[in-house]
């Protein structure tokens, strides 16, 4: 209940009376319509004033009602505003709650995404670790395999060395078993000589090391003396602020003393160096004489090996050649020659020793020397014979002045040794065809045939050269070469051109050659091939295939082999030379064909694809044939691969049964056309 107090009420009674009259209900209705209130306390003054002024009370009552209604309206508005504020607050709370929920959801989603990324990274890391472990295992396995392969290679090398040493021991035992007393004396003398040479070499090495140490000590002593002198000079210079006559005199005395000491040291060193130089010169002179002696022994042994046919004698000679090569190499290391000269002579000596070791192993295994190997021995003999002659002449004619210049790396002796070394260089072996000149393989097919006389051979040779307008034929004797015996003839045509021809004692044309000038190219290789085939047919040779063709100097070089069941038979090889200007055959070599002509059967265990897979990496074969090839006097069935290796060209032969490499030729281009090396 609210109370309203009038503005113009002056006394307390009047105020009480107005309050009673204007009292309203809680709903805001007028007091007239409301139930009667309890009687107020009796206040005389107030009642009197109320009775006296009724109109004023009515106005106040009306104003109070209006005021109450205004307050109620304001209260409603205030309540409505409060309700609106509550609604807005509720909306804000709902929005905040929604935003919080969304934020919480976003955070949760981000956490899930982050966990997924971390999990993916962990998986990637595990996968990378697993791949790394796998790669490491593979690398370890590869290293193990490589080590195992290297071990096998080392074992194979050691086994080969053991076999070689065993062969050498066997050869030595055989040599000792069959040597005579004179040979034993020679061997003992040679071994003593080797021991003396080895002892001299060790003594020389000790003397050289001793001389080097002595020279180093002298040099150190000289350096120390110079250092002491330099320090004394520095101290004197620091003390003498104003140098005068006394300082100059002291400096002169110090310098004279130092010069005297240095002269004494140099003189003593000169005496020692002179002794060393004399000993060195004597050693070099002894080494040169030793080289001449060893070269002479090597010359004798190679000369004997050329004509030897017995296995025991060949073993002994090859053993001696090995020893001579080792002694020559040892002597060569002691003389002061330039690098090129030493390399050339050393290469020849090493080549001779290696070839002798290979032949010794062959003979120890029960083999024999082929014609081509004997030709190689003869070639080594010719080179060494020149080497021995030049060395002997050089040592015999040298003067003390020449020898002194030689020790300094100058003079005529150095030049002569350089020329001698140049003569020992091995020219690269070149051939016009694979396996040309291998000689007889297996059984000699000409042996046992009925022989004809030289007169009958002359009639045959006239028939073979029927189209050459032969004017004269002369019989010049007989030759036996490469397991084939022949009658020799010298033919002259109408232009006085001479032709040398060999006819076997059974009547076949084995070889002929002539020099005919060919200046222009009127026939290509295909035409020359047709001309050569026509000529071979005229002398009874058919069923051959051209396996190699090259031209140079207007001469076509054509190589043929027989072909059986699609297999090239390289032991049955023919070489034909055709003049590209006149279009006629000017040379032929059919000795291999005649020696090895026979029927054969073939069986290859490897297929062409399997053999192709065994080729070295980088080789790209563009042609392949099955072929029978001669290897150390025996026939082997092989796959012939003509290959490119980048811009180079090779012909590779792989065994058709084992896949092992039999032979490799490199195709080269030269002034006389393509050739093989």
Spatial separation of the C-alpha atoms in residues 113 and 126, rounded to whole Å: 20
Q: What is the pLDDT of residue 166?
A: 74
In the block, residue with structure tokens 């060919």 = 518
State yes or no: pLDDT of 639 exceeds 90: yes
Range in 265-269, 523-527, 642-646 with the lowest mean pLDDT: 265-269
pLDDT at 410: 53
Selection from 566, 562, 523 nearest residue 540 by Cα:
562
**Could you tell me which of 202, 189, 192 has the C-alpha nearest to residue 334?**
202
Task: Compute how many other C-beta atoms are within 10 angstroms of the C-beta atom of residue 53.
Answer: 17
Angstrom distance (rounded) from CA 595 to CA 442: 9
For residue 509, what is the enclosing H or E element? strand 509-514
Q: Are 447 and 598 in contact (CB under 8 A)?
A: no
602-677: which CATH number, 2.30.30, 2.60.40, 2.60.120, 3.10.450? 3.10.450
Highest mean pLDDT among 272-281, 302-311, 526-535, 626-635: 526-535
**194-203, 309-318, 647-656: least confident range:** 194-203
Whether the CB-CB separation of 556 and 528 falls below 8 Å is answered with yes
The count of other CB atoms within 10 Å of the CB of residue 655 is 20
Residues 15-23, mean pLDDT to the nearest whole number: 47
Asked if 590 and 511 count as a contact pair (C-beta separation under 8 A), the reply is yes
Higher pLDDT, 30 or 584: 584
pLDDT at 238: 66
| Res. 10: pLDDT tops 80 | no
Give the mean pLDDT of 331-335. 68
Check whether 32 has a pLDDT greater than 50.
Answer: no
Per-residue pLDDT averaged across 32-51, rounded?
45
Asked whether the predicted pLDDT for residue 381 surpasses 90, the reply is: no
Q: Specify whether the CB–CB gap between 523 and 532 falls below 8 A.
A: no
Residue 69 has pLDDT above 50, yes or no: yes
CA 23 to CA 61: how far, in whole Å?
A: 9
Cα separations (Å) of 265 from 214, 225, 233, 271? Answer: 13, 10, 20, 10
N-term to C-term CA, the chain: 137
pLDDT score recorded for residue 532: 92
**Band of pLDDT at residue 47, cut at 50, 70 and 90:** very low
What does pLDDT average to over the chain? 75
Place 2 in a pLDDT band, splitting at 50, 70 and 90.
very low
Token output for 315: 């073993």
Structure confidence at residue 535 (pLDDT)? 92
Residue 24 pLDDT more than 60?
no
Averaged pLDDT, 428-449: 60
Handedness of CA 577, 579, 580, 583 (dihedral sign): negative
Q: How confident is the model at residue 39 (pLDDT cuts 50, 70, 90)?
A: very low
pLDDT of res. 497: 87
| CB neighbour class for 596 (10 Å; exposed up to 12, middle 13-18, buried from 19) | buried
What confidence score (pLDDT) does residue 335 get? 65
For residue 216, is pLDDT > 60? yes
Both tokens of 647, joined, read: 């811009």
- Per-residue pLDDT tens over the stretch 363-373: 876 777 777 77
SS3 (DSSP) at 512: strand
Q: CA 577 to CA 560: how far, in whole Å? A: 11
Residue bearing the bigger pLDDT, 365 or 641: 641
Q: Give the chain's length.
A: 677
* Range of 339-353, 379-393, 624-638, 663-677 with top mean pLDDT: 624-638
Lowest mean pLDDT: which of 204-208, 256-260, 405-409? 405-409
Collapse the DSSP code of 447 into the 3-class scheme (helix H, G, I; strand E, B; otherwise coil) and give the result: coil
Average confidence (pLDDT) over 453-461? 90
Q: State residue 638's pLDDT score.
A: 92
| 254-308 residue pLDDT tens | 666 666 656 555 554 544 544 445 445 555 666 777 777 787 888 888 888 877 7
* 104-120: average pLDDT: 89
Residue ranges of the domains in the chain? 1-165, 181-423, 440-595, 602-677
Residue 564 bridge partners (DSSP) = 567
Instruction: Tell how strand 509-514 and strand 555-564 pair up.
Output: unpaired
């Amino acid at each position: 209940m609210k109370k309203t107090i009038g503005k113009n009420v002056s006394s307390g009674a009047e105020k009480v009376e107005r309050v009673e009259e204007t009292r309203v209900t809680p709903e805001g209705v007028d007091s007239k319509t409301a139930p009667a209130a309890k009687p107020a306390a009796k206040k005389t003054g107030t009642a009197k004033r109320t009775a006296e002024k009724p109109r004023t009370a009515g106005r106040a009552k009306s104003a109070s009602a209006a005021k109450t209604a205004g307050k109620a309206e304001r209260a409603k508005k205030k309540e409505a505003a409060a309700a609106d504020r509550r609604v807005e607050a509720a909306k804000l709370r709902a929005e905040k709650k929604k935003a919080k929920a969304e934020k919480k959801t976003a955070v949760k989603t981000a956490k899930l995404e982050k966990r997924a990324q971390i999990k993916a990274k962990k998986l990637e890391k595990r996968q990378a670790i697993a791949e790394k472990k796998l790669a490491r295992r593979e690398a370890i396995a590869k290293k193990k395999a490589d080590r195992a392969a290297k071990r096998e290679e080392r074992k194979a090398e050691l086994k080969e060395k053991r076999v070689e040493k065993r062969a050498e021991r066997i050869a030595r035992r055989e040599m000792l078993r069959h040597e005579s007393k004179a040979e034993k004396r020679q061997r003992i003398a040679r071994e003593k000589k080797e021991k003396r040479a080895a002892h001299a070499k060790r003594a020389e090495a000790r003397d050289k090391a001793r001389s080097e140490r002595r020279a180093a000590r002298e040099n150190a002593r000289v350096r120390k003396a110079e250092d002491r002198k330099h320090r004394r000079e520095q101290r004197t210079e620091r003390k003498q602020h104003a140098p005068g006559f006394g300082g100059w005199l002291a400096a002169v005395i110090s310098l004279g003393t130092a010069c005297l000491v240095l002269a004494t040291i140099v003189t003593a060193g000169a005496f020692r160096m002179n002794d060393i130089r004399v000993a060195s010169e004597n050693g070099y002179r002894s080494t040169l004489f030793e080289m001449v002696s060893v070269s002479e022994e090597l010359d004798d042994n190679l000369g004997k090996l050329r004509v030897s046919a017995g296995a025991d004698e060949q073993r002994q000679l090859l053993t001696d050649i090995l020893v001579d090569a080792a002694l020559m190499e040892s002597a060569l290391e002691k003389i002061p020659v330039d690098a090129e000269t030493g390399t050339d002579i050393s290469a020849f000596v090493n080549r001779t020793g290696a070839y002798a070791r290979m032949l010794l192993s062959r003979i120890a295994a029960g083999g024999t020397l082929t014609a081509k190997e004997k030709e190689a021995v003869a070639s080594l003999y010719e080179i060494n014979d020149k080497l021995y002659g030049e060395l002997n002449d050089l040592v015999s004619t040298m003067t003390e002045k020449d020898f002194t210049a030689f020790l300094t790396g100058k003079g005529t002796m150095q030049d002569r040794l350089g020329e001698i070394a140049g003569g020992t260089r091995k020219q690269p072996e070149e051939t016009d065809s694979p396996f040309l000149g291998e000689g007889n393989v297996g059984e000699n097919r000409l042996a046992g045939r009925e022989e004809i006389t030289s007169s009958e051979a002359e009639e045959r040779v006239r028939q073979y050269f029927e189209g050459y307008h032969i004017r004269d034929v002369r019989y010049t004797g007989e030759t036996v070469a490469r397991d084939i015996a022949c009658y020799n003839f010298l033919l002259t045509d109408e232009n006085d051109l001479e032709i040398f021809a060999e006819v076997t004692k059974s009547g076949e044309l084995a070889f002929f050659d002539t020099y005919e000038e060919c200046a222009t190219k009127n026939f290509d290789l295909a035409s020359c091939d047709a001309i050569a085939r026509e000529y071979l047919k005229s002398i009874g040779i058919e069923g051959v295939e051209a396996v190699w063709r090259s031209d140079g100097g207007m001469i076509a070089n054509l190589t043929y082999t027989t072909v059986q069941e699609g297999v090239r038979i390289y032991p049955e090889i023919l070489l034909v030379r055709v003049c590209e200007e006149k279009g006629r055959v000017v040379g032929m070599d059919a000795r291999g064909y005649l020696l090895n002509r026979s029927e054969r059967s073939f069986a290859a265990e490897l297929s062409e694809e399997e053999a192709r897979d065994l080729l070295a990496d980088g080789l790209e074969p563009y042609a392949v044939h099955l072929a029978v090839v001669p290897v150390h006097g025996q026939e082997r069935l092989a796959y012939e691969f003509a290959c490119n290796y980048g811009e180079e060209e090779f012909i590779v032969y792989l065994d058709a049964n084992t896949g092992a490499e039999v032979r490799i030729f490199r195709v080269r281009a030269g002034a006389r056309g393509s050739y093989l090396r």
